[in-house]
A and B are shown apart, each in its own frame.
Chain A
Amino acid sequence: MTEQSSSAAPSTIVNLLRRAWRSISVPVASVILALVIGGIILWLSRADPLAAYAALFRGSLGNIDAIGRTLEKATPLILGGLAVAFAFKAQLFNIGGQGQLLLGAIVAAAVGFGIKGLPFIIHMPLALLAGSLAGALYGAIPGALKTYTGAHEVITTIMLNYIAINITDYLADGPWKDTVGIEARTPPILETAIIPKWGPIPIGFFIAAAMSLAIWFLLYRTTTGYEIRTVGLNQHAARYGGVKVARTVILTMVISGLLAGMGGAIETQGVVGRYQPGFNVGLGFDGITIALLARTHPLGVIPAALLIGAMQAGSSRMQFDAHVAAQIIDVVQALILFFVSADIIVRWIIRVRAEEGEKVTLSTGWGQG
């Protein structure tokens, strides 16, 4: 993707439109292609693709409640996508979003039910902060591992995901288990920790959107953002320029983890009301799809998350009305990821040529720098 400069190129309306088209044409075409192929798969398994997609639409955008559900689903996706996109800017692959999210969720729950007697204005942000910090700390681990031992973050973050699942299972089944009932889950959080809705619209969504803007600002208008992007594009030149690379890598992973942790906290405080295992699995990979769909641009994460969120929100309606297994959404998502990353295929189909500098290589082996 054309690396956005800290300064803006002079632009006419035509230039702007042309650039916009170049940016979104591939993601848009990828989505359409994926839906078409998904439809073919549905047809092959003897379902009616049009009915399925119609139900999907109704379930996600058909009425104000559906839209509310879509926004709800989109919220952790925005944060998960931001986490991955942000890490990408430093050439880091954070697939640990899921683990960071789980820890964020359970810590927020713990603060939510464990601390009593605080007013909303303190309790809610406190729980949110606690969850975010839990994610941040968990993100620091692979960051430190990479910096001090060279361990590649792809595997360490995936391993930490499994470890996080075990830790949260243990906590929900042990020390933080709800004494009421036999299910392995935490007690519900207190009312003062709940992130409210504004009608059917979850406030958490606005928090997530605000974070998107904040990250954009951080990356393109601050010295820290310049350092992060420089490290991502050329670590050696960054050192030459005086950037402390090790610190930057860890900082990036900390912020990335913080975002994912926040996503988990908002899920607990805004949607579920407590921590129970088995919720929202797969966010790590969803985050990658969204980050790439957004071409790793922090602002692009919002529409991408809305799209995937819509699909997830509408999937239960689709299952109910059109009798189609909800997992087709996973397949479509995988296809979207495929097309968005194999953008050569898509470009060939829609005849858009790649600009010089549009492609970014994300990996160069196992942490050899």
Chain B
Amino acid sequence: MEKTISRPGLSALLEKLRGSRALLVIAIAVGVLISFLTNGDITTAVLSSALRQSTPLVLGALCGLLGERSGVINIGIEGQMLMAAFMGFLANVYTGNLIIAVTVGVLTGALLGALLAFMSVTLKMDQIIGGTVINILALGLTSFFYQQGLTTHGKLQPIELGPLADLPVIGRVLFSNPPITYASLILIFVVHYVLFYTRWGLRTRAVGEHPGAADTVGINVKMVRYINVIIGGGIAGLAGAYLTLEAVGSFERAMTNGRGFVALAVMIFGKWTPLGAWGAALLFGFASALQTQLQFGGSSIPHQFIGMLPYFLTIVVLAGVGGRSRPPAAVGKLYQPE
């Protein structure tokens, strides 16, 4: 829509809410502090849970953001995660080797990324349909091939980082996590560095903002998009592997449950930057952790309402409460060099 067509009263309200992002963070920080002082164990548990819940979200957001920064919308993150989760699970069942299983998961995600790139860049299909195809394919294939009763050989265990793990609260929360969680934290910074400080990142961003400018200086727009989407796919694959190999330990039909879409909201809320996505993912993870806590803490609110929370939050974020953000200018548009 060209302009936000809002009446004066509504737009003034929206403006006020938009400035509230900082307020939100402060409110949460204060809340956490109070909670810690009243009950340290539960606070630690909730924070740990928040980090765990945020991991697939931030990985999914990194996947989405690599694609979008180069101009390709990826709404197939859900399908990529699901398929990778399934393949990783199968690899675990048949080889018993967790490292191979994780690798299989990552490769699956990358392969689906290649498919998306093929559909969007080479076939010039509508990118949203392409993502939808991946989602439907993943759901169909995983449901078709999944049989009950397969046994797995355990899952990835937390690794304690020596003395750091003994620190109160942050020790348990930050420094005794399983490998994929650590990997995701490292990835955030790696992607941030590459995107904003290297030659490759400059070209990627140029392709996403103004592919014509990149094309006319000799950059291969198609290849840049392919590579970004495939690497992003690999990261989404890691998220899928996380679900079955680190978090849950087994597979369930449609277990991603919308996380791939929530990851898109995380990406948007984080203004298409890795660090922003991390913050947003933590926020969403925190909301989920809180939801679980309330659910088992015996709240009188029907659990379905609490279950709606992440989805509701996503919509709120998309509606721009907390600041309107601007995606890369050429995202979603077909680049036709005449």
Contacts and interface: CB of A to CB of B under 8 A. Distances in A.
Interface string B106-128: 00000000000001000111111
B226 interface: no
Nearest to A284: B132
Given A149-B318, A151-B320, A158-B258, A239 B332 contact: no
Interface stretch (A3-11, A75-83, A303-311, A361-369): A361-369
Chain A residues touching B, range: 35 or more
A93 interface: yes
B265 interface: yes
B293 interface: no
Interface residues of B, number: 52
B136 A334 contact: yes
A369 B302 CA distance: 39
Contact of A149 (B4, B140, B264): B4
Contact of B331 (A151, A155, A365): A365
B6 interface: yes
A327 B143 contact: yes
A233 to B, nearest CB: 15
Contact of B126 (A155, A361, A368, A369): A361
B239 interface: no
A42 to B, nearest CB: 10
Given A149-B320, A331-B137, A361 B334 contact: yes
A325 B124 CA distance: 34
B136 A156 contact: no
A58 B144 CA distance: 22
A85 to B, nearest CB: 13
Interface in A350-365: 361-365
B125 A342 contact: yes
Given A325-B144, A327-B143, A341-B126, A151 B312 contact: no
Given A170-B304, A341-B133, A362-B128, A148 B327 contact: no
A333 B318 contact: no
A330 B139 contact: yes
Given A150-B320, A166-B307, A362 B126 contact: yes
A167 interface: yes
B5 A147 contact: yes
Contacts of A288: 129, 132
Contacts of B22: none
A168 to B, nearest CB: 9
A155 B264 contact: yes
Nearest to A337: B133
Interface string A165-200: 011011001100000000000000000000000000
Contacts of A330: 136, 139-140, 143-144
Nearest to A246: B5
B1 interface: yes
B130 interface: yes
A148 B10 CA distance: 9
B318 A151 contact: yes
A147 B5 CA distance: 7
B268 interface: yes
Given A145-B318, A149-B4, A155-B264, A333 B126 contact: no
A148 to B, nearest CB: 6
A275 interface: no
A211 to B, nearest CB: 24
Interface string B295-338: 00000001011011001101100111000100100011110000
Interface string A259-293: 00000000000000000000000100100110010
Interface of B: 1-2, 4-6, 10, 14, 73, 75, 119, 123-130, 132-133, 135-137, 139-141, 143-145, 258, 261, 264-265, 268, 302, 304-305, 307-308, 311-312, 314-315, 318-320, 324, 327, 331-334
17 contacts: A145-B319, A148-B6, A149-B4, A166-B307, A167-B308, A239-B2, A245-B2, A246-B5, A249-B1, A330-B139, A330-B140, A331-B144, A338-B137, A341-B133, A344-B125, A365-B327, A367-B1
Interface of A: 41, 45, 93, 95, 145-152, 154-156, 158-160, 162-163, 166-167, 169-170, 173-174, 235-236, 239, 245-246, 249, 282, 285, 288-289, 292, 325, 327-328, 330-331, 333-335, 337-338, 341-342, 344-345, 361-369
Smallest CB-CB A-B distances: 6 pairs: A330-B140, A365-B332, A327-B144, A151-B318, A170-B304, A334-B136
